[in-house]
């Protein structure tokens, strides 16, 4: 086969994935709008719109000529590493797509959209029964997808779903890491609680905190750490998230007039995601290799900003006076109190409000339950009871109702199974990356003490953002830090922050 023909095949693939990427971007914007702007009456139409876009994307990816072009392009020699990686990821995406019938893709998209809207009402009412029938359909379709994907990829059903969020990571990799963390937590949590009890309780700022003032402050902080609003928006939603596209990033948060810190740290978290998206290489926009390296990597970028940098003593020392300037003087903004306030340890029901020591317990619970749901050893009707039992085992507490239990997260009700492990893998990776940045970047702590994240973001831009999907999760960490994932870095960080 001539070089001209193989290059032409690759060029056709690039053009096709550019179109697929554009469709996926349109879906991302519609999903953002559904969460942030859309009136309730638009839900049915939005489900149809997303289903059609998903179907069109699926048709483009599964067209017969794609397999021929993949085979032809693979015979070319001399491609650069980015092109080779792009071709590998194209083949992987094609393998996943052809294993799923188009009608199943559309049916799952519609079911997920309908269930997600029903979940909103069920959570408000703290009544799992309101969403059970729709959720049962979501789980049924997710199992069908998982079976089909697993057969094509040679993976278990749950591993096949995990592969869609962080390629190359399996349940067998995650389970021992989580078991070791559960053992660590059983000793560390009571010790951290005892140490915290030796100090005065953290004082809450007096408030109230008007939402417009919070919004202005959150926007200023996002800009301070590097997010340009010529390519971004900050809006409100029921669940904070980062969406949109690399050139039009949409971050959201929710505000509480009694607590001015919740929204702030949610925005700092989502800004970490946004900076990663903005830092992806534009030369490979809409190509598989130009996308983020997976959700565990994405979480590492949000958590290194929020938890590692912005909750550090250095940054909090700078942040206190900024908060006082925005909301009025308050002894709560004194450095020691602010540190205790932003790093409180406690056994709580809500994942998004959890401290970084107990947060992995929430993820471990979800990992175990969602894998059981997909494998069929747990039925949707039994989820609330299983949730409560698992929470009691991990943290010794039982939720008072479904809203504080199995209804608190959107993910499952929107069909996102296999995602949750990425949160804690990302936290572990963030600790490892921060340790490497402290080693490599002179004056990093001094910069944080001045409210400057530019040196850290610059290091991440070169070592993570610009690499996109050129490497897998462990290979990326190897390149950036010198070793693949090492959970010991996270435990060392927690010990230094909470047990010293």
> Which residue in this structure is represented by tokens 């949707």?
380
Distance, in Å, from the CA atom of 124 to the CA atom of 120, rounded to the nearest integer, reads 6
Contact assessment for residue 349 and residue 397, using Cβ atoms and an 8 Å cutoff: yes
CA distance 81 to 123: 47
Q: If residue 242 lies in a helix (H) or strand (E), which one and from where to where?
A: strand 242-245
* Pairing status of strand 242-245 against strand 232-236: unpaired
DSSP states along 9-28: HHHHHHHHHHHHHHHHHHHH
Q: CB of 61 within 8 A of CB of 327?
A: no
DSSP letter assigned to residue 412 = G
**Which residues does the annotation mark as catalytic?**
270
The β-bridge partners of 250 are: 233, 243
Bridge partners of 252, per DSSP, are 235
Tokens of 390: 């698992």
Tokens representing 73 are 């392009």
**Residue written as token pair 């009136």:** 39
Sheet containing 248-253: which strands, arranged edge to edge?
A: 232-236, 248-253, 242-245
Contact (CB, 8 A) for 96 and 153: yes
Distance CA(134)–CA(118), nearest Å, equals 8
Length, in residues, of the chain: 500
Handedness of CA 48, 23, 165, 226 (dihedral sign): negative
Quick check: 134 and 114 in contact, CB under 8 A?
yes
- Alpha carbon of residue 39 to chain centroid: 26
Q: Answer whether 253's CB lies under 8 Å from 287's CB.
A: no
């Amino acid at each position: 086969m001539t070089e001209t023909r193989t290059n032409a095949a690759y060029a056709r693939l690039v053009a096709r994935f550019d179109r697929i990427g554009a469709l996926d971007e349109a879906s991302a914007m519609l999903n953002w709008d559904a969460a942030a702007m859309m009136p309730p009456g638009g839900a049915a139409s939005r489900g149809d719109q997303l289903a059609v876009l998903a179907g069109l994307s699926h048709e483009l990816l599964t067209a017969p000529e794609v397999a021929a072009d993949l085979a032809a392009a693979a015979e070319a020699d001399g491609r650069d590493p980015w092109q080779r990686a792009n071709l590998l990821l194209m083949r992987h995406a094609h393998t996943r797509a052809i294993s799923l019938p188009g009608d199943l893709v559309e049916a799952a998209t519609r079911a997920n959209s309908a269930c997600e809207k029903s979940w909103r009402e069920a959570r408000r009412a703290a009544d799992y029964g309101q969403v059970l029938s729709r959720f049962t359909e979501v789980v049924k379709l997710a199992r069908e997808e998982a079976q089909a994907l697993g057969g094509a990829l040679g993976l278990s059903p749950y591993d096949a779903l995990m592969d869609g969020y962080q390629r190359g990571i399996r349940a067998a990799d995650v389970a021992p890491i989580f078991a070791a963390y559960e053992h660590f937590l059983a000793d560390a949590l009571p010790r951290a609680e005892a140490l915290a009890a030796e100090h005065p309780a953290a004082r809450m700022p007096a408030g109230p905190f008007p939402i417009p003032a919070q919004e202005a402050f959150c926007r200023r902080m996002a800009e301070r750490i590097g997010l340009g609003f010529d390519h971004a928006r900050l809006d409100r939603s029921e669940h904070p998230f980062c969406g949109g596209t690399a050139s039009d990033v949409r971050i959201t948060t929710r505000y509480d007039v009694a607590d001015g810190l919740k929204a702030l740290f949610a925005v700092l978290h989502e800004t970490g995601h946004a900076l990663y998206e903005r830092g992806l290489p534009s030369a490979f926009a809409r190509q598989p290799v130009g996308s983020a390296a997976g959700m565990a990597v994405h979480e590492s970028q949000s958590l290194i900003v929020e938890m590692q940098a912005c909750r550090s003593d250095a940054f909090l020392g700078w942040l206190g006076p900024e908060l006082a300037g925005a909301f009025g003087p308050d002894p709560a903004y004194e450095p020691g109190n602010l540190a205790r306030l932003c790093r409180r340890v406690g056994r709580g029901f809500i994942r998004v409000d959890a401290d970084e020591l107990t947060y992995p317990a929430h993820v471990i619970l979800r990992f175990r339950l969602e894998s059981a749901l997909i494998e069929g050893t747990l039925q949707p009707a039994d989820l609330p009871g299983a949730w409560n039992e698992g929470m009691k085992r991990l943290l010794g507490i039982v939720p008072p109702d479904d809203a504080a239990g199995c209804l608190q997260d959107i993910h499952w009700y929107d069909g996102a199974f296999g995602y949750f492990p990425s949160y804690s893998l990302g936290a572990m990776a963030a600790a490892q990356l921060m340790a490497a940045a402290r080693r490599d970047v002179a004056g990093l702590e001094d910069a944080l003490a001045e409210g400057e994240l530019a040196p850290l973001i610059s290091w991440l831009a070169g070592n993570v953002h610009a690499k996109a999907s050129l490497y897998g999760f462990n290979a990326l960490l190897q390149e950036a830090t010198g070793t693949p994932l090492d959970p010991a870095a996270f435990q060392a960080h927690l010990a230094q922050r909470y047990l010293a």
